[in-house]
């Protein structure tokens, strides 16, 4: 049930909508994290620049004996200061200090004369907390950063008025990826509103008419009478529904015209055949008279069989919902030689009763005539009803299993003209069953004999009962005599 939902148009539209929303939220999250990281680095960089300028000014204005105390007071777990005779940043390694250098110069009131070197680089590979942190602070730092320690290191060397250099080292850890609860709430609210509007309105306007069109197509394929569908929904769906209505009218008109044409042909041919029969009785030679009479009777039989075939595949009879076991039992009781009917599940199908009885009766009579000891069983396979009609005859060559369904096709061995018939029984049966949305196929049983497998669509609500036999296979069943 869940799988069928996600395979439907409605389910896939919902998945697409949720996927787009989720992708948009993820992209927004990464952009937010990047902007947050840049803001944190800028704030820390400006703070380090301000402290560096303040320490440099203190060192230049204080006596030499206070320099060590100033450096100790300025040091912190994240920023370290020291004074050396040469800069820690070599001339070839530093780059344009950018905003950090500009801020230091503004705070020192020195625009161009003082040399200031700034080096900013990303720490590559796995790093540990700053080496001068205490063990407890380092452990807390790792826990706070969730073990994801990646950082930007900044080194600053400022030339002091006395000739020494103030060296500053600091590190800016990149903030870890965090999903804000506000983003989650926004995502849920947005998705709920879009799904409510899209699912109950937009998608209902699309999938509703398509579902009705699908049901109408199935009913049309079974030959059931149905009212025209009112076009609803978007323009494309309305156009599709209108095209289906036109096709339905054309198919109905085509079948009716063909049936009327065959009936007219049959009516018109009866008169000359009757006249020929009367004239035949006037022939004096008995041998010639008998030959002509036999030919006329054969023509009359072929005409009747053709009209019967046309009536069999027409859809003039209304459909009814019938119990399969009951209708098979009724058919079996009307046969001259009843078949063995095995019990089956309690399942109902929608058929045109008279036409369906005719199709199944043709198949059972065919099995009794050419194979004897016909056996009938039925079961449910998923959403399909299967009826198996087996006999103990010689079977049919594999290459002729489909040819026997052609109108007027007759085999020249056991199923020949000597056994009677015009070769329309199987054609009529297949035409009727296909008009119901089903089919009939023939197969040779491994132990001998022929199996006719009838399949008809049923509602999925009735598919949980019955044996799970594969189409074309026959499972032995108790012999039940009727």
Per domain, the residue ranges of the chain are: 2-173, 319-462
Alpha-carbon Rg for the chain, nearest whole angstrom, is 46
pTM (2 d.p.):
0.47
With beta carbons less than 8 A apart as the criterion, state whether 172 and 151 touch: yes
Instruction: Report the alpha-carbon angle 190-192-195, nearest 5.
Output: 105
Per CATH, is 2-173 categorized as 1.20.1530?
A: no
How far is the C-alpha of 241 from the C-alpha of 247, rounded, in Å? 10
Which of these, 432, 400, 171, lies nearest to 314 by C-alpha position?
432
Classify domain 319-462 at the CATH topology level.
Heat Shock Protein 90 (3.30.565)
Contacts of residue 239, defined as CB under 8 A and 6 or more positions apart, other chains included, come to: 231
DSSP 91: T
User: Look-up: residue for tokens 């004074």?
Assistant: 83
CB 358 within 8 A of CB 428: yes
How many CA atoms lie less than 13 Å away from 231 in the CB half-sphere? Answer: 13
Sheet holding 340-341, edge to edge: 340-341, 375-381, 384-390, 450-457, 439-444
Residues 57 and 53: their CA atoms lie apart, in Å, by 6
**How far apart (Å, rounded) are the C-alpha atoms in residues 131 and 153?**
13
Per the structure block, which two tokens stand in for 386? 């299967």
pLDDT tens-digit profile, the chain (482 residues)? 677 766 776 677 777 777 777 777 777 666 665 665 666 667 777 888 888 889 998 998 899 889 899 999 988 877 889 999 888 887 655 565 678 888 888 888 876 678 888 887 776 554 444 555 556 555 555 554 444 445 678 888 888 888 899 999 887 665 555 555 666 677 677 777 766 766 666 667 777 788 888 888 877 766 666 778 888 877 888 888 888 888 888 887 777 777 777 777 777 777 788 888 888 888 888 888 888 888 888 777 777 766 666 665 555 567 888 999 999 999 998 888 889 999 999 999 988 888 888 889 989 988 888 877 899 999 998 889 999 999 988 888 888 888 888 876 666 444 434 444 556 778 888 888 888 888 999 999 888 889 999 999 885 433 334 334 433 333 433 333 33
Rounded-to-integer distance, Cα 275 and Cα 162, Å? 141
Q: Which helix (H) or strand (E) holds 37?
A: helix 9-61
Q: Which helix (H) or strand (E) holds 79?
A: strand 79-84
Closest CA to 52 of 153, 159, 208: 159
Joined tokens for residue 481: 């005599």
Helix axes 353-370, 324-333, angle to 10 degrees: 50
Give me 451's structure tokens: 């199996």
Distance CA 163, CA 16 (A): 67
Q: Count of CB atoms within 10 A of residue 441's CB?
A: 15
Q: How many residues does the chain have?
A: 482
Q: How far is CA 26 from the centre of its chain?
A: 26
For residue 37, what are the CA distances in angstroms to 103, 350, 394, 470?
A: 20, 68, 85, 64
């Amino acid at each position: 049930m869940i799988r069928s939902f996600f395979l439907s148009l409605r389910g896939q539209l919902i998945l697409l909508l949720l996927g787009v929303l989720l992708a948009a939220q993820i992209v927004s999250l990464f952009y937010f994290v990047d902007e947050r990281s840049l803001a944190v680095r800028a704030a820390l960089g400006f703070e380090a620049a301000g402290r560096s300028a303040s320490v440099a000014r203190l060192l230049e204005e204080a006596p030499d004996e206070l320099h060590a105390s100033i450096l100790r007071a300025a040091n912190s777990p994240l920023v370290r200061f020291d004074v050396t005779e040469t800069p820690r940043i070599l001339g070839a390694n530093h780059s344009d200090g950018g905003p950090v250098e500009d801020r230091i110069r503004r705070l020192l009131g020195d625009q161009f004369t003082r040399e200031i070197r700034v080096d900013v680089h990303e720490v590559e590979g796995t790093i540990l907390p700053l080496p001068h942190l205490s063990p407890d602070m380092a452990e807390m730092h790792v826990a706070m950063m969730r073990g994801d320690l990646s950082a930007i290191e900044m080194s600053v060397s400022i030339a002091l008025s006395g000739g020494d250099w103030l060296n500053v080292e600091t590190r800016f850890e990149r903030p870890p990826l965090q999903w804000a609860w506000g983003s989650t709430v926004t995502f849920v609210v947005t998705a709920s509103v879009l799904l409510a509007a899209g699912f109950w309105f937009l998608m209902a306007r699309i999938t509703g008419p398509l579902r009705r069109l699908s049901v109408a197509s199935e009913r049309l394929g079974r030959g059931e009478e149905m009212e025209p569908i009112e076009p609803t929904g978007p323009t494309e769906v309305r156009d599709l529904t209108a095209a289906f209505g036109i096709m339905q009218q054309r198919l109905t008109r085509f079948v009716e015209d063909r049936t009327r044409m065959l009936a007219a042909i049959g009516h018109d041919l009866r008169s000359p055949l009757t006249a020929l029969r009367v004239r035949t009785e006037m022939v004096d030679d008995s041998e010639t008279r008998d030959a002509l009479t036999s030919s006329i009777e054969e023509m009359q039989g072929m005409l009747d069989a053709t009209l019967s075939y046309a009536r069999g595949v027409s859809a003039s009879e209304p459909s009814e919902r019938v119990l399969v076991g009951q209708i098979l039992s009724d058919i079996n009781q009307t046969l001259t030689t009843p078949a063995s009917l095995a019990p089956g599940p309690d399942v109902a199908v929608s058929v045109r009763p008279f036409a369906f009885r005719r199709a199944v009766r043709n198949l059972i009579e065919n099995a009794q005539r050419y194979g004897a000891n016909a056996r009938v069983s039925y079961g449910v396979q998923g959403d399909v009803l299967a009826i198996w009609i087996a006999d103990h005859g010689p079977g049919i060559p594999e290459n002729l299993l489909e040819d026997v369904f052609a109108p007027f096709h007759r085999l020249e061995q056991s199923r020949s003209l000597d056994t009677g018939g015009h070769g329309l029984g199987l054609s009529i049966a297949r035409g009727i069953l296909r008009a119901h949305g089903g089919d009939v196929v023939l197969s040779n049983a491994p132990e001998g004999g022929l199996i006719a497998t009838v399949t008809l669509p049923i509602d999925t609500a009735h598919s949980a009962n019955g044996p799970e036999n594969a189409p074309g296979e026959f499972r032995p069943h108790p012999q039940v005599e009727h």
